[in-house]
């Protein structure tokens, strides 16, 4: 099992094993399972998002290393060109690759 699938399995476990309980007259009335995963505002959401982005970062870097995606070379003066394959900011992602079917297939 690879790095990405281990993290995804752990994340899915966090989402699918959530249980809730309600208080009836101040007394817990048993647990019931969640059917929709985390809710907006859940304190665990930002951490799961960051872990998901770490996995996506790893997978994109590996695809570039193995030649499945190319990225974009940026040149600045006499410096060595910088290859940028993706950028993350808050909840946005930009992926740089060639506009061809093969690269888009690997990206998906």
Condensed to tens digits (0 to 9), the pLDDT of residues 84-105 reads: 999 888 778 888 888 888 888 8
CB 17 within 8 A of CB 9: no
CB 38 within 8 A of CB 48: yes
pLDDT of amino acid 66 = 92
pLDDT of amino acid 58 = 92
Question: pTM of whole model > 0.85?
Answer: no
């Amino acid at each position: 099992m690879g790095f990405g699938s281990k993290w995804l399995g752990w994340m899915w476990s966090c989402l699918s094993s959530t249980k809730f309980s309600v208080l009836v007259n101040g007394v817990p009335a048993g647990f019931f399972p969640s059917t929709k995963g985390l809710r907006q505002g859940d304190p665990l959401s930002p951490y799961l998002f960051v872990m998901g982005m770490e996995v996506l970062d790893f997978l994109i870097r590996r695809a570039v290393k193995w030649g499945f995606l190319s990225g974009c070379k940026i040149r600045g003066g006499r410096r060595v060109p910088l290859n940028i394959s993706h950028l993350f900011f808050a909840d946005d992602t930009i992926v740089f690759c060639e506009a061809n079917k093969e690269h888009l297939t690997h990206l998906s």
